[in-house]
A and B are shown apart, each in its own frame.
Chain A
Amino acid sequence: MTKKQPEQQILHDNKKIIPFLSIIIPGSSQIIFKKPWRGFSIFIFLLISGYLVYWGFEKFEISKVQLNENNFIPWLILPLFLFYAWNIFDAFQISKNKKSPAIIAILSVMVILYTIGWSVTGVKLERLVTRFTDAKSVMNKLVNPDFFSTTINGKIEICSWGCLWDYSVAKINGSETTEVFLSSNVGQIFGQKGTVTASSWAVLFGKATKNQRIPGFETGKIIETIAIGLLATLFSTVLAVPVSFLAAHNIMKRIPGGSVVYYIVRTFLNIVRAIDTVVWGLIIIVWVGLGSFAGVIALTIHSIAALGKLFSEEIEHIDAGPVEAIEATGGNFYQIIRYAVIPQVIPSFLSYTLLRWDINMRSATVIGFVAGGGIGFFVLETIRMGGYQQYAAALWAIAVVIILVDYISSKWRFNILKDQPKFVEKKSTWKKVRNIIYVILAIIVFLYCWEITKIDLSKLFDPGPTFGRLLKDFISIDLTGKVIDNVLRELIITTMQAFLATTLGGILAIPFSFLAAKNLTGKSKFSSWIFYLVRSLFNILRSIEALLYVAIFVYWVGIGPFAGMLALAITTFALMGKLFSEAIENIDSGPIEAVSATGANKLQAIVYSVVPQIVPPFLSYLIYQWDINIRMATIIGFAGGGGIGLMLSTFFGSLQYHKAGTVIVAIVIIIAVMDFSSAKIREKFI
């Protein structure tokens, strides 16, 4: 206490002078006035927006206006200056213990970010209209997927809904009609008879020789995708468990040198996690070659890091009481883990595994874009050949699978987390038999997945020819000015894509989310129809990864960052719509009643009783989505969506590994910075 008093005295004496400091260093007097967070934000945001204005003007002549004959300036200097002036005003207000409207600062930063973001992501709204005919034709193809075919004039043609209808009518009426059959496309997606490479079992039992092509059942691409997701989840869970103990502080501090291990493992997990699964795919194919196996490895690596982090946090949050009790009985380190830690974490581990299974299934649908296995590869092929109706069929198949997985996973998680104490009854014989059947089934499924994803562990020890070079080049990454310049440009574009997509998708989701909230839609037949319609729209849109949407927008608005941004906005719209509507359903109904009781109409009730309750959850979901989008934006370029992903795939494609290394380091840094700042913002506001 005694130490603080002179300091306070100084603060008091100089109350009139301190605000002037913010003229020289923005934010500094706010920091001196004990508002470090405010001051720091002002400083950082002013620095960033200042740099962006300069950068945008230099590189893209953004917001260029003519001052006089040969002087040009960006008009964005105006909001920048407004922000700066506000900072000084704010400092004086604080010295007088008054508040200043932060909205000015927020608006000026928004103007700068939007103007720059708009230009660098190449937003061309008019294209949404002028090229609407293209959009219409692609939409037409999307709603008429290639599932059935028929023969018209001796040629095989796709038979979509209208043709199917005619066919069914004709069948029912018993009149003559040409036959309708499943398209070959369906065979490729779900599986068909054909020639396959002899399985290792056939080789084992002497029925075939290695690599021999024999008649058999070709695995469907969607089945392959499911197998990739399942195996990756299994492998990553098994591997993440030991890793998570190394990354849990309360465990590691018990053993000598453990804290060092803890910090190393944590950092390592964060780096691995910052690199998206698809980017891992690029690295892994250099190691083991193209195919499902590469996909499994890429998913497993990313998944180990993600699960390792979640698991270790779960371990750190266990009840310390039992640990203390077991320690007091004289139990050693391993016994403490076995009897006090593991029983506590099992339900949450299981639930995270199921959550991760859901995420892995989604990743498995796109990993084929780079790794060459599963439905992603098939989608890429159809897009290349312009087969949008085949592409549509694949999307529908994906939607069905993912919606199913989502449902099963959340149902199981719900049951696990209820975790009600069961009286441990004697198991009936039937239950024992049933459990044995389950185990056998699981083993069969596992072996089948192993077989169709062509897992070949020996490949791990026999890396591809350029893998050595990749490792070497990754250590000596390219830091020459030109490369840094380009990477920085793509990084800004990528961040802006994520920023625009999050805000655009989020804003679009708000009105729809009200339509999908059961407690607001009311009980009439019409409104419950709307409810189901909007909810299904959210669920279907949400089941398709952003990367798969890019193709549609590339067709519509052309290749580039704008298409990528729109694809991100669609997934944002879907997820935010779902989460927002659930948040609305969870609000306290008391205030609605109270406001309605005053005679207010529905809209008034919403504005006065619902809105104040939903702002905090909406904001927190938006930040969550921002974390997702910044990651997705780094890969959206693989499908023609612009940004840093395009650059990365180009560098990989041309074997310029040390430049690729630079890009990856840049991605890790930007994700780390964004994660850190969103965590801070969440802490501060929500």
Chain B
Amino acid sequence: MLKIENLCKTYPNGTQALNGVSFEVEEGEFLAVIGLSGSGKSTLLRCINRLIEPTSGKIIWNDLDITAATGKEIRFIRRQIGMIFQQFNLVKRSSVSTNVLSGRLGYVPTIPSLFHVFSKDDHERVKKTLDMVGLADKIDVRADSLSGGQQQRVGIARALMQEPKMILADEPVASLDPVLAHSILKYLEKLNKDYGMTVICSLHFLDLVHRYATRAIALNEGRLVFEGLPKEIDDAQFKHIYGKEAERIEII
């Protein structure tokens, strides 16, 4: 169980991106995070694995205080949490296999890894995960020769290499067209349903939230303004989350 208590983040330039956010995520949930651009979704997700230092508040994961972890402990926590990004964040010039292998970095000893020496097991695992995301034949090509949807699948494969208990996905489909969006989210759904991984995923489109999430939270200017089931987001809630001016547009 992940418990967020009164989380605040103020950036050095004074922007208050998170303002006393508290909520809980049960194991095995698919939690959608929604909110306007700039509402603090990315900041929230990055605080959970401490890519961003929270200013105050607590993040407790299975009785482990993430906010109190230091150095080695943080890396130990991070390797159990896979992360998927809007811009895929692959090393474009490296091969697909190197990108996927880099998901093991939290597990392997430093010195061999610096010389690109990985165990046979790890190489086998690369093949298996790439098979799972349907990219087995692309193992040796350079990442930038893949299409956007394929690149995001490599991103998922990299996260899977970590054998994560939880997955953070920051607008994983915002750079993809609607059809690919579904195919990527289906992978996440599969990981959630079949492997019991907790998924926290920020999304832009409500229909995607309705289709995939088991629960949703909404942020507005760094505050939690909604917490509940996706179907509970009606027109009134919608205005509350997105502001009075907002119009509901349906996409696919």
Partners in one complex: yes
Interface status of A99 (Cβ within 8 A of chain B): no
What's the nearest-Cβ distance from chain A to residue B162, in Å? 6
In the complex, the answer to whether A330 meets B93 with C-beta atoms within 8 Å is no
Interface status of B183 (Cβ within 8 A of chain A): no
Interface status of B192 (Cβ within 8 A of chain A): no
In the complex, the answer to whether A335 meets B113 with C-beta atoms within 8 Å is yes
Q: Given the known inter-chain contacts A334-B110, A424-B142, please indicate yes or no for A343 contacting B93, CB distance below 8 A.
A: yes
Contact mask A172-188 → B, CB, 8 Å, 1/0? 00000000000000000
Report B-chain residues with C-beta under 8 Å of the C-beta of A332: 75, 105, 110
Contact mask B103-119 → A, CB, 8 Å, 1/0? 11111001001100000
Interface status of B144 (Cβ within 8 A of chain A): yes
Q: Given the known inter-chain contacts A332-B75, A422-B142, please indicate yes or no for A340 contacting B91, CB distance below 8 A.
A: yes
In the complex, the answer to whether A325 meets B83 with C-beta atoms within 8 Å is yes
In the complex, the answer to whether B142 meets A321 with C-beta atoms within 8 Å is no
What's the nearest-Cβ distance from chain A to residue B157, in Å? 12
What's the nearest-Cβ distance from chain B to residue A600, in Å? 46
Which residue in chain A gives the minimum CB-CB distance to B104? Answer: A329
In the complex, the answer to whether A329 meets B144 with C-beta atoms within 8 Å is no
In the complex, the answer to whether B98 meets A339 with C-beta atoms within 8 Å is yes
Interface status of B87 (Cβ within 8 A of chain A): yes
Which residue in chain B gives the minimum CB-CB distance to A345? Answer: B93
Which of B51, B80, B94 is in CB contact (< 8 Å) with A327?
A: B51
Which residues in chain A, 313-333, are within 8 Å of chain B measured between CB atoms?
A: 319, 321-322, 324-332
What's the nearest-Cβ distance from chain B to residue A108, in Å? 43
Interface status of A419 (Cβ within 8 A of chain B): yes
In the complex, the answer to whether A330 meets B141 with C-beta atoms within 8 Å is no
What's the nearest-Cβ distance from chain A to residue B109, in Å? 10
Interface status of B129 (Cβ within 8 A of chain A): no
What's the nearest-Cβ distance from chain B to residue A329, in Å? 5
Q: Given the known inter-chain contacts A325-B89, A346-B93, A421-B144, please indicate yes or no for A338 contacting B106, CB distance below 8 A.
A: no
In the complex, the answer to whether B85 meets A321 with C-beta atoms within 8 Å is yes
In the complex, the answer to whether B114 meets A329 with C-beta atoms within 8 Å is no
Which residue in chain B gives the minimum CB-CB distance to A323? Answer: B89
Report A-chain residues with C-beta under 8 Å of the C-beta of B114: 334-335, 338
In the complex, the answer to whether A326 meets B51 with C-beta atoms within 8 Å is no
Which residue in chain A gives the minimum CB-CB distance to B76? Answer: A330
Q: Given the known inter-chain contacts A338-B114, A421-B144, A423-B145, please indicate yes or no for A330 contacting B91, CB distance below 8 A.
A: no
- Interface of A, helix, strand, loop or mixed by DSSP: helix
Report B-chain residues with C-beta under 8 Å of the C-beta of A321: 85, 87-89
What's the nearest-Cβ distance from chain B to residue A314, in Å? 14
Interchain CA distance A329-B107 in the complex, whole Å: 9
What's the nearest-Cβ distance from chain A to residue B144, in Å? 5
In the complex, the answer to whether A325 meets B158 with C-beta atoms within 8 Å is yes
Contact mask A409-451 → B, CB, 8 Å, 1/0? 0000000000101111000000000000000000000000000
Interchain CA distance A460-B83 in the complex, whole Å: 51
In the complex, the answer to whether B140 meets A424 with C-beta atoms within 8 Å is yes
Interface status of A347 (Cβ within 8 A of chain B): yes
In the complex, the answer to whether A421 meets B75 with C-beta atoms within 8 Å is no
In the complex, the answer to whether A424 meets B106 with C-beta atoms within 8 Å is no
In the complex, the answer to whether B105 meets A424 with C-beta atoms within 8 Å is no
Which residues in chain A, 339-362, are within 8 Å of chain B measured between CB atoms?
A: 339-340, 343-344, 346-347
Interface status of B81 (Cβ within 8 A of chain A): yes
Report B-chain residues with C-beta under 8 Å of the C-beta of A322: 89-91
In the complex, the answer to whether A328 meets B83 with C-beta atoms within 8 Å is yes
In the complex, the answer to whether A330 meets B75 with C-beta atoms within 8 Å is yes
Which residue in chain A gives the minimum CB-CB distance to B72? Answer: A332
In the complex, the answer to whether B162 meets A330 with C-beta atoms within 8 Å is yes
In the complex, the answer to whether B144 meets A331 with C-beta atoms within 8 Å is no
What's the nearest-Cβ distance from chain A to residue B163, in Å? 11
Report A-chain residues with C-beta under 8 Å of the C-beta of B161: 329
Which of B88, B105, B144 is in CB contact (< 8 Å) with A326?
A: B105
The 5 closest A-B pairs by CB, nearest first: A330-B106, A330-B79, A321-B89, A331-B105, A325-B89
What are 30 A-B contacts defined by CB distance under 8 Å?
A: A321-B85, A321-B87, A322-B89, A322-B90, A322-B91, A325-B90, A325-B102, A325-B155, A325-B158, A328-B81, A328-B82, A329-B82, A329-B102, A329-B104, A329-B161, A330-B76, A330-B106, A331-B105, A331-B106, A334-B114, A335-B105, A335-B114, A340-B91, A343-B93, A419-B93, A423-B140, A423-B142, A423-B145, A424-B140, A424-B141
- Taking A321-B85, A326-B105 as given, write out 12 further A-B residue pairs in contact, using a Cβ cutoff of 8 Å, ordered by the A residue number: A325-B89, A325-B155, A328-B49, A328-B78, A329-B158, A330-B105, A335-B105, A339-B91, A340-B102, A343-B98, A421-B145, A424-B95
